[in-house]
């Protein structure tokens, strides 16, 4: 890890052929949208950043690497908090406009940098938000509550196995005698 602090902004000067390494930690509290998703407001929580800003062989400005964090979410099965690891692989190409982004090759995700500088915190936060699960929930079998309605629906009720069992009980004894003859 680098001993120098992470820059506040991504700027075009960082994207050289040799590249610029951006390694360190950012406070999660600086990421309002990500912090709003958390059940527990942890002011000391940090986001790990390991990125490289560089120009590739074709002269395209690229940002690649990984960002990761841990966040407490509310499980939508049992409504209990749980710890969710967020790990995002970053593979972005800088473009100057939305028009340029539309013509980008499909293997690259665009990062529009129209003004010449872009807040690093916003880029990292966007990548972590994209890494969040669509539905927050414990891993399979991780919900601790036995009276969980979702788990109860997964287990079939013994009485409901045969829908015609009720009709069988309603059958008259004289009806069963006629069937045997």
**Residue-by-residue DSSP string for 81-135:** EEEEEEEEEEEEEEESSHHHHHTS-TTSEEEE--SSEEEHHHHHHHHHHHHS-SS
Q: Exposed/middle/buried for 109, CB within 10 Å: 0-12, 13-18, 19+?
A: middle
Q: Kindly report, residue by residue over 64-114, the tens digit of the pLDDT.
A: 999 999 999 999 989 999 999 999 999 999 998 899 888 888 888 999 988
Q: Kindly report, residue by residue over 11-51, the tens digit of the pLDDT.
A: 988 888 888 999 999 999 899 999 899 888 787 889 999 99
Structure tokens, 161: 């196995």
Structure tokens, 47: 């986001």
Bridge partners for 88 per DSSP: 67
Q: Has this prediction a pTM greater than 0.85?
A: no
Bridge partners for 73 per DSSP: 82
């Amino acid at each position: 890890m680098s001993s120098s602090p992470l820059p506040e902004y991504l700027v075009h000067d960082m994207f050289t052929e040799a590249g610029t390494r951006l390694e360190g930690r950012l406070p999660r509290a600086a990421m309002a949208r990500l912090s709003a998703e958390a059940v527990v407001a942890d002011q000391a929580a940090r986001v790990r950043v390991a990125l490289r800003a560089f120009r590739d062989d074709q002269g395209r400005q690229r940002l690649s690497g990984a960002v990761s964090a841990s966040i407490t979410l509310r499980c939508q099965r049992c409504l209990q908090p749980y710890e969710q690891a967020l790990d995002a692989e970053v593979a972005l190409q800088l473009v100057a406009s939305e028009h340029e982004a539309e013509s980008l090759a499909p293997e690259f995700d665009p990062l529009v940098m129209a003004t010449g500088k872009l807040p690093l915190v916003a880029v990292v936060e966007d990548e972590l938000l994209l890494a969040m699960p669509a539905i927050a929930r414990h891993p399979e079998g991780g919900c601790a509550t036995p009276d969980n309605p979702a788990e109860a629906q997964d287990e079939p009720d013994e009485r409901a196995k045969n829908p015609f069992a009720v009709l069988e009980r309603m059958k008259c004894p004289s009806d069963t005698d006629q069937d045997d003859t």
